[in-house]
Amino acid sequence: MPILTETVAFGDWFREAANWAFLIIAAPTLFGAWRTVTSNNIVRAVLYLVVALAGTAAMFLMLGAAFVGWTVVLVYIGAVVILFLIGIMITRAPVGADTVLSHNREVKLPAALLSVVLFVVMAWAMIDAFGASMIEAFEPTLTSDLANVLFDRFVIPFEVVSFVLLAALIGSIAIARKDDEGDRR
Partner 1 sequence: MTLVQFLLIGAALFSMGLYGVITRKNAVLILASVELMLAAVNINMIAFDTYLQDPLHSGQIFSLFIIALAAAEVGIGIAIVLMIYRNRQSADVDELNLMKG
Range 61-100, binding partner 1 (CB under 8 A): 62-65, 67-68, 71-72, 75-76, 79-80, 83-84, 86-88, 90-93, 100
CA 83/CA 77 separation, integer angstroms: 10
CA distances from 179 to 15, 91, 131, 174 (A): 63, 18, 57, 10
Site string for partner 1, 145-184 (x = CB under 8 A): xx--xx--xx--xx--x--xx-xxx-xxx-xx-x-----x
CB of 92 to partner 1, least distance (A): 8
CB of 40: closest distance to partner 1 in angstroms? 11
Applying CB under 8 A, the site for partner 1 has a residue count of 91
Query: Could you tell me if 79 and 49 are in contact, meaning their C-beta atoms sit under 8 angstroms apart?
Result: no
State the nearest-atom distance from the C-beta of 93 to partner 1, in Å.
6
Number of other residues whose CB lies within 10 A of the CB of residue 60:
19
What residues from 97 to 126 belong to the interface with partner 1 (CB under 8 A)? 100-103, 107-108, 111-112, 114-116, 118-119, 122-123, 126
Give the span between the Cα atoms of 15 and 97, in whole angstroms: 44
User: Rounded distance, CA 62 to CA 74, Å?
Assistant: 18
Which residues from 7-46 bind partner 1, rule CB under 8 A? Answer: 7-8, 13, 16, 18-19, 22, 26, 29-30, 33-34, 36-37, 42, 45-46
Residues 6+ apart with CB under 8 A from 8: 131, 132, 134
